[in-house]
Amino acid sequence: MQLLNILNIKGTITLKSGLHIGAGDVEMHIGGTDNPIIKHPNTQEPYIPGSSIKGKVRSLLELKSGLVVKTDGNPLSARLLKGLKGEERQECETILKLFGSSGADGEAVAELGPSRVSFADCPITKNWQEKVRQSRWSLTEVKSENSINRIKGTAENPRFTERVPSDTEFAFSVCLKVLKPEEEQPLLEALLQGLKLLELDALGGSGSRGYGKVQFRFEDESIQKRFESIDLFSRGGKL
Amino acid sequence: MKLYAISLEPISGFGTPLKGDTLFGHFCWQAAYDSKLLNGGLDKWIDCYGKKPCVVFSSAMPYFSGQSTPYAVKRPDLPRSYLFNKLKEKPNKREQISARKEDSKKKWMLLEKSLTINLDKPLFRTDADLAGMVAGENLSGSFRCSFEQPHNTINRLTLTTGEGAFAPFAETVHFYMPETELALFVLVDETATDLERVCTALERMGQFGYGKNASTGLGRFRLGSLREEVSLPSGQAFNACYALAPVVPERGRFSKAFFQPFVRFGKHGDELARSPHPFKNPVIMADEGAVFLPATEATEEVFLKPYIGTAVKNISKALKSSVVQGYAPYVPFHLEVNS
């Protein structure tokens, strides 16, 4: 294997709804929310960790592959390759080459090579920072929620969740290592498919309740056109 | 060998500190995938690494461009009496204790561009001082801070987190203050490679990510404007070496050593990180900031070379030919040894 190229795919992620990527329950500040989001420790500006995008894109690609029934919900690993043939094997290999595999099966992992893809953390774009500053908006919002008692029909369990507001823009960057010429296009295609799946699904917490809808806009026009033309499902997402 | 100073601009958090031996490991992986980075390829230079290192990396240290003392290195690991006593001749015990507390916070030493170390006129600084230098104002914090970043694994059947393998966990991430610049000193054997190729390797490391969790956003940096050859101080009666990276000193070369031990529990990178034996044997090193005094009979020999230390071999079950950078670039200086 030889490093032939590193494709750097850059663009913008625009939030189409509030985004909550939790900072955990490590500490709670007086007057703070009980569900804070992750922020840069120096600037206190929210950012999207590369791990959030990588993890969600991988899990969606694995779900689409249908191979997850064989892993009991765990991520795909090189061990699974032994029992696969044809298209299933190819799909599994593509995911493992892109995102990496656990070290349980040394030989199989060595054949796959290193993880090809590397997602950077996504900071808020300079444009958005400026817009927020000029408009005197806040970089975050707090959404209150509750649950409804099914018998009384009244609100219970109020909670306050911090989110990054809709329309916020983040700078997105992902690197793809090309180690074999014949791998470049299939891996790029799979990566773009994963990002398309993410657009259709959601990033961060509470996705089924409307949080975390995102839209990608790529700097490179050819990548943008290719991304827009991706048809993920045979029925094109229609009934 | 030529000594170069190269500046880096961190643009993300780091899971792994930018230490000389880890940077060398990353450079080797770059050379393994691009044979043009080292003349004759990586294997040739690994074979002779014990006698002739191709590149020796220092650890990264804060860099302040345009200042008369642009580098901030770790305070030498010398006893306090070598560093502060001359400055703190306090009359009473209370003042002495107070001064000692103040001094112990000063973990950094500023260095001039000429890299001259003069312990009679030391420029020791605290973390907060460095934060102020980066921000251009007085700050109470540190120029480097850490926080616990939570992670979890998504259950592919439910697309939620949960228990067991899917339970949330936290990992420590270190962030530098925005606009912090770091400097590396790199010794380059001109018969092996050159500044341009070392910079190419560093650029790729910074682009794809350095160290732990590189594929999920950590360890990003870009190269700064500083890429120049530097000279070590010369022409004086030096008797000590200040190490700029973790080092495994040669046996019998030094009469005195002042250092903090640093145990490198190394792990293979790239594809070997996921091999059945990803961990290397631990290596006990003297951390950067160590001071070594060459034995009288070895003084000339030590100061002839621009680096100190040895190669460390036989540390891996996954790849027998693996080596660890036990070498370190050093700054020669004169240490007045207390009797």
pLDDT in tens, B245-288: 999 999 989 999 999 999 999 888 887 887 788 899 999 999 99
pTM: predicted TM-score of the whole model, two decimal places: 0.89
Tell me A87's DSSP state. Answer: H
- Quickly count: other Cβ atoms within 10 Å of residue A226's Cβ: 14
Handedness of CA A133, A134, A140, A141 (dihedral sign): positive
Tell me which amino acid residue A220 is.
D
Percent of chain B with pLDDT over 90: 55
pLDDT for position A43: 85
pLDDT at B14 over 70: yes
Nearest-CB residue to B175 (from A40, A175, A179): A40
pLDDT for position B95: 81
- Reduced to 3 DSSP states, what percent helix, strand and coil does chain A have, rounded to the nearest 5? 35, 25, 40
Q: How many C-alpha atoms does A232 have within 13 Å on its Cβ side? A: 21
CB contact under 8 A, B156 and A75: yes
CB A121 within 8 A of CB A40: no
**Can you read off the two tokens belonging to residue B179?**
């606009």
Best residue of B42, B216, B221 to probe chain A, by most A CBs closer than 10 Å: B216
pLDDT for position B107: 92
DSSP A170-226: EEEEEEEEE-SGGGHHHHHHHHHHHHHHHHHS--SS-GGGT---EEEEESSHHHHHH
pLDDT for position A175: 92
Mean predicted confidence (pLDDT) in B234-252: 90
Query: B34: which chain A residues are within 8 Å (Cβ-Cβ)?
Result: 2-3
Tell me A34's DSSP state. Answer: S
Query: B159: which chain A residues are within 8 Å (Cβ-Cβ)?
Result: 59, 63, 207
Distance from CA of B339 to the nearest CA of A (A): 46
pLDDT band at residue A103 under the 50/70/90 scheme: low
CB contact under 8 A, B156 and A62: yes
pLDDT at B211 over 80: yes
A65 burial (CB, 10 Å; 0-12 / 13-18 / 19+) is: middle
B228 burial (CB, 10 Å; 0-12 / 13-18 / 19+) is: exposed
pLDDT for position A197: 93
- Measured between CA atoms, the residue of chain A closest to residue B276 is A106
- In our burial notation (b when 16+ CB lie closer than 10 A, e otherwise), range A167-203 reads ebbbbbbbbbbbbeeebbeebbebbbbbbbbbbebbb
Best residue of A10, A20, A29, A51 to probe chain B, by most B CBs closer than 10 Å: A51
pLDDT in tens, A198-216: 999 999 888 888 999 999 9
Mean predicted confidence (pLDDT) in B282-307: 92
pLDDT at B45 over 90: yes
Nearest-CB residue to A50 (from B34, B148, B216): B216
pLDDT for position B82: 85
CB B237 within 8 A of CB B337: no
- Quickly count: other Cβ atoms within 10 Å of residue B211's Cβ: 20
B118 burial (CB, 10 Å; 0-12 / 13-18 / 19+) is: exposed
Nearest-CB residue to B156 (from A22, A59, A110): A59
Mean predicted confidence (pLDDT) in B234-245: 88
Distances (CA, A) of B191 to A198, B194, B195, B326: 49, 8, 12, 21
The whole-angstrom separation of Cα B181 and Cα B168 is 33
Query: A99: which chain B residues are within 8 Å (Cβ-Cβ)?
Result: 215
pLDDT for position A107: 66
pLDDT in tens, A126-162: 999 999 999 999 999 988 889 999 999 999 988 888 8
pLDDT at B86 over 60: no
Distance from CA of B127 to the nearest CA of A (A): 14
As separate numbers, helices (DSSP H) first and strands (DSSP E) second, chain A gives 6, 8
CB contact under 8 A, A41 and B156: no
CB B147 within 8 A of CB A41: yes
Q: How far is CA B129 from the centre of its chain?
A: 20
pLDDT for position A30: 60
- Reduced to 3 DSSP states, what percent helix, strand and coil does chain B have, rounded to the nearest 5? 25, 30, 45
Distance from CA of B294 to the nearest CA of A (A): 43
Nearest-CB residue to A73 (from B152, B157, B216): B157
Query: B216: which chain A residues are within 8 Å (Cβ-Cβ)?
Result: 49-51, 54-55, 118-119
Mean pLDDT of chain B: 89
Query: A2: which chain B residues are within 8 Å (Cβ-Cβ)?
Result: 33-35
- Measured between CA atoms, the residue of chain A closest to residue B169 is A24
Distance from CA of A74 to the nearest CA of B (A): 6
| Beta strands, E only, chain B | 2-10, 55-57, 61-63, 71-74, 108-111, 124-125, 144-151, 169-176, 181-188, 221-229, 240-243, 254-258, 261-264, 283-286, 291-294, 307-309, 327-333
pLDDT for position B5: 95
- Helix axis angle, A86-99 to A50-65, nearest 10°: 180
Mean predicted confidence (pLDDT) in B193-206: 94
The whole-angstrom separation of Cα A21 and Cα B155 is 17
pLDDT at B164 over 90: no
Q: How many CB pairs under 8 A join A and B?
A: 123
| More confident call, B120 vs B113 | B113
| Beta strands, E only, chain A | 5-15, 47-48, 117-119, 122-123, 141-148, 155-163, 169-178, 214-218
Distances (CA, A) of B206 to B30, B68, B213, B267: 12, 28, 13, 19
**Phi, psi of A49, deg, nearest 5:** -65, 140
pLDDT at A110 over 90: no
Query: B275: which chain A residues are within 8 Å (Cβ-Cβ)?
Result: 103, 106, 109-110
pLDDT band at residue A29 under the 50/70/90 scheme: low
pLDDT in tens, B309-324: 999 999 988 888 899 9
**Can you read off the two tokens belonging to residue A183?**
């791998």
**Can you read off the two tokens belonging to residue A226?**
């290719």
pLDDT at A16 over 90: yes
pLDDT for position A126: 93
